């Protein structure tokens, strides 16, 4: 019996979100290579790669990298991946454009093979037939994948929603889904992001009313912040603004890059005379200005945060400005985003955000759409992907409600291969693997131990005691030095630190010929006890005992 392996890779994040493999014999298709952003308990980490260690000894088997769409969590790890693996990439036109922008930055563009595929194409890759089909999502040119394998047809939704009135007029391809259904779908891998949201995700179109009201009523400039990859949102906001006689300025590096590229490729329709350079908006009355900007997550280096703290080179918030955050706040970013909103208010702007106004909708299917897809495709096996365990469990419940038998639903986490044998889907043995942290120039070297140390330091800082030590006498020489950082405010703590010198000195009073390492342990233990007693804090305490 044909034996196809489906492997979601990555650490304990959203399952299969950043990378999945489909494997048959000595042939592997890889789907997406995205990055994750660090959570607040991963200090100092810049971003996270999925762990593709599983593929390292199978380099010659990888036939293709298939990319579903151009968001960072699906393409952000490509530069790192393509450095290790020389495989042809397949993507739609806009997605390819976004990949090219990234690869140009990392100077890899002339080293990799990029292929364009389009919805409706039928691409033969080794023993697989790959059929990308159009889906609605919060970026144009997103596809799901029909993958015919020797064990049957697998459908991978990518990120999707059913939007009957999408901004670009191009709904999810129902006909193709019906065709798959007629052919018989063996395994459905479906986006679980919104599995805890009842009902249907609203159409992008519902935002028009809110934007019309804002553009009409705003007494001055309107500044709309959103993700720079949300090309269709940019189109929508620009169309409404232009209809109210406003010209458009673009602010923020990624917003400029992405809108330029999308205009070149024809995915964003803004006439030249509707645009104005950011440094020339002063020539227009404020009521005739729209600024599209980055920073809707409160990111400290993006435009919105700079405006909120008065650190932008050319723009300053003025009373009469209206700022719109057209985005969902990613969990973990709430405090930063709220701080930016409060600061913008403090500078005199009016700030509009969800739920105050209807200025954002999700790009992912909610429960009713997820059930619709299951009924449309009528798959034999169901595998919820793209979500944390809580989303997958919920999506599994929905699939049961929609008639998939319990035993045909596989909820697995990253690293758990599913072995699909046509009439059976079994969970294989877990593959070792975890997050791969990118920390400055260090890829994969910063591990849980270092992260734990950073967390300890962030709680109470550190104290280093430098003790000159006469081993023959078993005594400190002179006063030990106490260095601290992040523990107490030194000018107010002279007395505490002076007493700590005495404590360190006393602890270094040991039998003659005691070794330095033992003295270091004594000093560390004595200082830890002393500081806890005096302050109820536990700084990281290190002693350096130096031969005198």
Q: Is 412 in the site for its own copies (CB under 8 A)?
A: no
Backbone angles phi, psi at 425, to 5 degrees: -130, 110
- Taking the complex as a whole, the smallest distance from the CB of residue 281 to its own copies amounts, in Å, to 25
- Name residue 346's beta-bridge partners: none
Query: What is the Cα–Cα distance from 353 to 491, expressed in whole angstroms?
Result: 43
Asked if 24 contacts 128 with a C-beta cutoff of 8 angstroms, the reply is yes
- Taking the complex as a whole, the smallest distance from the CB of residue 524 to its own copies amounts, in Å, to 12
Q: Is 489 in the site for its own copies (CB under 8 A)?
A: yes
Of 115-123, 248-256, 266-274, 338-346, which part binds its own copies (CB under 8 A)?
A: 338-346
- CA-based radius of gyration for the chain: 28
Query: What is the Cα–Cα distance from 110 to 82, expressed in whole angstroms?
Result: 12
- Which residue, 43 or 320, has its beta carbon nearer to its own copies? 43
Query: DSSP E strands: which ranges in 176-216?
Result: 185-191
Asked if 436 contacts 443 with a C-beta cutoff of 8 angstroms, the reply is yes
The label of the residue with tokens 């006689």 reads 245
Q: Is 534 in the site for its own copies (CB under 8 A)?
A: yes
The distance from CA 494 to its chain's CA centroid, rounded to whole angstroms, is 45
* Contact code string over 158-197 relative to its own copies, x by CB under 8 A: --------------------------------------xx
H or E element, residue 225: strand 222-225
Of 62-70, 415-423, 435-443, 503-511, which part binds its own copies (CB under 8 A)?
A: 435-443
Q: Is 338 in the site for its own copies (CB under 8 A)?
A: yes
Q: Is 85 in the site for its own copies (CB under 8 A)?
A: no
Pairing of strands 152-156, 143-149: antiparallel
- Taking the complex as a whole, the smallest distance from the CB of residue 314 to its own copies amounts, in Å, to 26
Known catalytic residue: 191? yes
- Taking the complex as a whole, the smallest distance from the CB of residue 367 to its own copies amounts, in Å, to 10
**Which tokens hold the place of 79?**
């530069």
- Taking the complex as a whole, the smallest distance from the CB of residue 331 to its own copies amounts, in Å, to 4
Q: Is 499 in the site for its own copies (CB under 8 A)?
A: no
Q: Is 536 in the site for its own copies (CB under 8 A)?
A: yes
- Taking the complex as a whole, the smallest distance from the CB of residue 157 to its own copies amounts, in Å, to 21
Q: How many CB atoms lie within 10 A of CB 374?
A: 21
Q: Which of 5, 93, 473, 481 binds its own copies (CB under 8 A)?
A: 481
String of DSSP letters for 243-273: HTT-EEEEESHHHHHHHHHHHHTTSS---GG
Query: What is the Cα–Cα distance from 198 to 362, expressed in whole angstroms?
Result: 13
- Which residue, 271 or 498, has its beta carbon nearer to its own copies? 498
Q: Is 257 in the site for its own copies (CB under 8 A)?
A: no
Q: Which of 245, 285, 447, 515 binds its own copies (CB under 8 A)?
A: 447
Non-local (6+) Cβ contacts of 406 within 8 A are 400
Query: What is the Cα–Cα distance from 20 to 352, expressed in whole angstroms?
Result: 38
Q: How many CB atoms lie within 10 A of CB 401?
A: 11
Pairing of strands 540-547, 462-470: parallel
Helix (H, G, I), strand (E, B) or coil at 380: coil
Query: What is the Cα–Cα distance from 140 to 93, expressed in whole angstroms?
Result: 10
Backbone angles phi, psi at 447, to 5 degrees: -115, -175
Q: Which of 487, 507, 522, 524 binds its own copies (CB under 8 A)?
A: 487
516-535 and 494-507 are packed helices; what angle lies between their axes, rounded to 10 degrees? 150
* Contact code string over 351-390 relative to its own copies, x by CB under 8 A: x---xx-------------------------------xxx
Q: How many CB atoms lie within 10 A of CB 163?
A: 26
CA nearest to 175, candidates 370, 381, 376: 376
- Taking the complex as a whole, the smallest distance from the CB of residue 389 to its own copies amounts, in Å, to 4
Of 21-29, 93-101, 438-446, 521-529, which part binds its own copies (CB under 8 A)?
A: 438-446
Q: Which of 2, 271, 525, 546 binds its own copies (CB under 8 A)?
A: 546
Q: Which of 93, 123, 462, 471 binds its own copies (CB under 8 A)?
A: 462
Q: Give the interface size with its own copies as a residue count (CB under 8 A).
A: 68
- Taking the complex as a whole, the smallest distance from the CB of residue 138 to its own copies amounts, in Å, to 20
Q: Is 59 in the site for its own copies (CB under 8 A)?
A: no
Q: Is 342 in the site for its own copies (CB under 8 A)?
A: yes
- Which residue, 169 or 331, has its beta carbon nearer to its own copies? 331
Percentage helix, strand, coil for the chain under 3-state DSSP, each rounded to 5:
35, 25, 40
Of 235-243, 306-314, 344-352, 505-513, which part binds its own copies (CB under 8 A)?
A: 344-352
Asked if 140 contacts 231 with a C-beta cutoff of 8 angstroms, the reply is yes
The label of the residue with tokens 């990029």 reads 114
Q: Is 402 in the site for its own copies (CB under 8 A)?
A: no
Question: Which of 69, 364, 395, 435 is labelled catalytic?
Answer: 364
Known catalytic residue: 212? no
Q: Is 104 in the site for its own copies (CB under 8 A)?
A: no
Query: What is the Cα–Cα distance from 215 to 264, expressed in whole angstroms?
Result: 27
Q: Is 266 in the site for its own copies (CB under 8 A)?
A: no
- Name residue 241's beta-bridge partners: none
Question: Which of 191, 321, 350, 439 is labelled catalytic?
Answer: 191
Please give the positions annotated as active site: 191, 364
Positions touching its own copies (CB under 8 A) are 12, 39-41, 43-44, 196-198, 331-332, 334-335, 338, 341-342, 345-346, 350-351, 355-356, 388-390, 393-394, 413, 439-442, 445-447, 449-450, 453-462, 464, 466, 468, 481, 483, 485-489, 492-493, 534-537, 540, 542, 544, 546-547
């Amino acid at each position: 019996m044909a034996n196809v392996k489906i492997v979601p890779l990555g650490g304990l994040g959203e399952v299969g979100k950043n990378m999945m493999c489909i494997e048959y014999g000595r042939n592997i298709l890889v789907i997406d290579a995205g990055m994750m952003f660090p959570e607040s308990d991963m200090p100092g980490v810049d971003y996270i790669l999925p762990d593709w260690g599983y593929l390292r000894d199978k380099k010659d088997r990888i036939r293709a990298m298939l990319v579903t769409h151009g968001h960072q969590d699906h393409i952000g790890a490509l530069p790192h991946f393509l450095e290790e693996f020389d495989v042809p990439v397949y993507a739609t036109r806009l997605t390819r454009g976004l990949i090219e922008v990234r690869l140009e930055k990392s100077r890899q563009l002339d080293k990799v093979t990029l292929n364009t595929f389009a919805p409706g194409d039928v691409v033969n890759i080794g023993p697989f037939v790959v059929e990308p089909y159009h889906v609605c999502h919060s970026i144009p040119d997103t596809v799901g994948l029909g993958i015919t394998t020797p064990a049957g047809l697998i459908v991978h939704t990518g990120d999707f929603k059913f939007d009957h009135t999408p901004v670009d007029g191009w709904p999810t391809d129902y006909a193709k889904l019906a065709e798959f259904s007629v052919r018989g779908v063996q395994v459905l891998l479906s986006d679980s992001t919104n599995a805890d949201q009842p009902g249907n995700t609203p159409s992008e179109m519902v935002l028009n009313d809110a934007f019309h009201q804002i553009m009409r009523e705003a007494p001055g400039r309107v500044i709309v912040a959103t993700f720079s990859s949300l090309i269709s949102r940019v189109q929508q906001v620009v169309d409404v603004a232009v209809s109210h006689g406003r010209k458009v300025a673009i602010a923020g590096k990624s917003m400029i890059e992405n809108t330029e590229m999308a205009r070149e490729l024809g995915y964003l329709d803004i006439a030249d005379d509707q645009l104005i350079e950011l440094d020339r908006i002063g020539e227009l009355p404020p009521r005739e200005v729209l600024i599209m900007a980055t920073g809707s997550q409160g990111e400290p280096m993006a435009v919105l945060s700079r405006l909120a703290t008065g650190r932008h080179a050319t723009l300053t918030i003025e009373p009469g400005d209206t700022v719109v955050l057209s985005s969902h706040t990613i969990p973990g970013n709430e405090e930063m985003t709220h701080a930016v909103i409060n600061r913008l208010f403090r500078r005199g702007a009016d700030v509009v955000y969800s739920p105050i106004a209807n200025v954002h909708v999700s790009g992912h299917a909610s429960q009713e759409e997820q059930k619709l897809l299951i009924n449309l495709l009528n798959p034999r096996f169901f595998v919820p992907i793209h979500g944390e365990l809580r989303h997958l469990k919920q999506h599994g419940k929905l699939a049961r409600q929609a008639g998939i038998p319990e035993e045909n639903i596989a909820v697995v986490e990253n690293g758990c291969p599913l072995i699909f044998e046509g009439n059976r889907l079994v969970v294989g043995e877990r593959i070792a693997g975890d997050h791969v942290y990118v920390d400055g120039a260090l890829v994969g070297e910063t591990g849980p131990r270092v992260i734990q140390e950073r967390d300890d330091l962030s709680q109470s800082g550190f104290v280093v005691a430098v003790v000159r030590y006469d081993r023959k006498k078993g005594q400190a020489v002179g006063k030990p030095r106490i260095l601290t950082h992040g523990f107490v405010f030194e000018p107010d703590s002279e007395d505490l630190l002076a007493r700590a010198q005495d404590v360190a000195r006393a602890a270094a009073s040991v039998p003659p010929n005691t070794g330095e390492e033992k003295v270091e342990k004594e000093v560390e233990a004595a200082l830890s006890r002393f500081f806890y007693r005096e302050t109820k804090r536990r700084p990281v305490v290190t002693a350096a005992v130096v031969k005198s």
